[in-house]
Structure 1
């Protein structure tokens, strides 16, 4: 195997490990929000804005040409990023509504009051979550092989950012879906990221398609991090979030 394939396999194993162990990392639990979750969120958002977005800006002409017959402008790639953000915002609101109804309370912005047992989402919402995040995970697995810049260094930065991002999303899914996520959901997501990796290993797609996939993933990453950090009842660690973002941004710019 080539060094890039071996490195992508190591990255895949790291992402799989995150899904397996995150629901059992007790130091991430509690209020105020764990400093490590805030740092991880800052790193993944920094990667999107410092690395993803400049790449997307460079590839927008390619996407515009591929979509030319539809009459779409060169902002098409950023509209796809917005679509990714809106998709996962819709999923977040769906989970909030489902949990609130099962608790018999009005829909709120967070996950309930501290000290009270909280309901999980309904089975229907759980499977919608799993289907949507399976696509999300498959995109990450696929992009281990197909990014705008294909080097070992870019792979290391991408895999690190996505592994930390998976910690944040897994924690949120565990809070929303609870036992069904720990029993079934995390294994569904493991299968999805492995399937995406295998698809990336065996297939190749045009540059425009890579840009579209990257844009959608970038929008999803931003929303999935901010929905965990912003609500006031999380008592998030702003300085940890900002520090993680600043440190990873500096690293990306320096290397």
Structure 2
């Protein structure tokens, strides 16, 4: 599946570079689409990523780790919470900086320092997605396809927010950094030795980040969302996962 993984990674890079050129004709189709995508993403998280945590918790429990880590109950799940807290913190810093600049300096975007922090955080996020591609998909072609569909739409949702927040800083630098990051993560996985324990930690942290970012970036406001589209996306991905897993 090495060649398949290359195509998926190149596809992810193309998505990052060209997301800001995607134009929706009006707000209504956009919100219907975002509801559809968020439903599919949530199905993937709770029917694939979260169940994997049970396995990864066993990996962590059986590993030879420092005593203080072994004393932590459900350590893999704790790392998932760390992922949620980490990305929530980055989002809060960005929003507070944006509000400060808007009121004091008449700017519509956060400071360049915050931009650097947020892009660095999402570069790490993308590296994990690239790194875990082959491990989470295994030797199943359909699994690679679902991985590509779900995370491509997830990238589009995240990238649109980053573009709207950081404007030309994202266009000139951010999107290229994110595109390279997902490739770098994949390259590290393919060229270095890994272990099931490393995959367990990375996957747990990524799961937390995915959950937070879906809730934060993909779900439209209640009055603008489409319940039918949300359920449709959820059912579609859920059925695909049932067929391949």
| SS at 2:199 equivalent | helix
Note if contact 1:33-1:236 (Cα within 8 Å) is conserved in structure 2: no
CA distance in 2, matches of 1:39, 1:246: 10
Q: CA deviation at 1:42?
A: 2.0
* Bigger proportion of residues as helix: 2
Is 1:128 matched up with 2:125?
no
- For residue 98 of structure 2, what is the aligned residue in structure 1? 99
Matched length: 241
CA distance in 2, matches of 1:215, 1:29: 37
Note if contact 2:41-2:150 (Cα within 8 Å) is conserved in structure 1: yes
| Structure-to-structure mapping, 1:54-133, within 5 angstroms | 54-66=51-63, 67=65, 69-70=67-68, 71-104=70-103, 119-133=108-122
- Of 185, 188, 203, 2:177 maps to 188
Change in 2 beyond 3 A, CA 1:206/1:13: same
- For residue 48 of structure 2, what is the aligned residue in structure 1? 51
CA distance in 2, matches of 1:183, 1:30: 26
- For residue 3 of structure 2, what is the aligned residue in structure 1? 6
Is 1:166 matched up with 2:155?
yes
Note if contact 1:41-1:168 (Cα within 8 Å) is conserved in structure 2: no
| Structure-to-structure mapping, 1:201-216, within 5 angstroms | 201-216=190-205
Q: CA deviation at 1:9?
A: 0.3
Note if contact 1:33-1:234 (Cα within 8 Å) is conserved in structure 2: no
Q: Normalization by structure 1: what TM-score?
A: 0.86
Is 1:227 matched up with 2:227?
no
Is 1:23 matched up with 2:12?
no
Change in 2 beyond 3 A, CA 1:233/1:173: farther
Q: Normalization by structure 2: what TM-score?
A: 0.89
- For residue 34 of structure 1, what is the aligned residue in structure 2? 31
| SS at 2:135 equivalent | coil
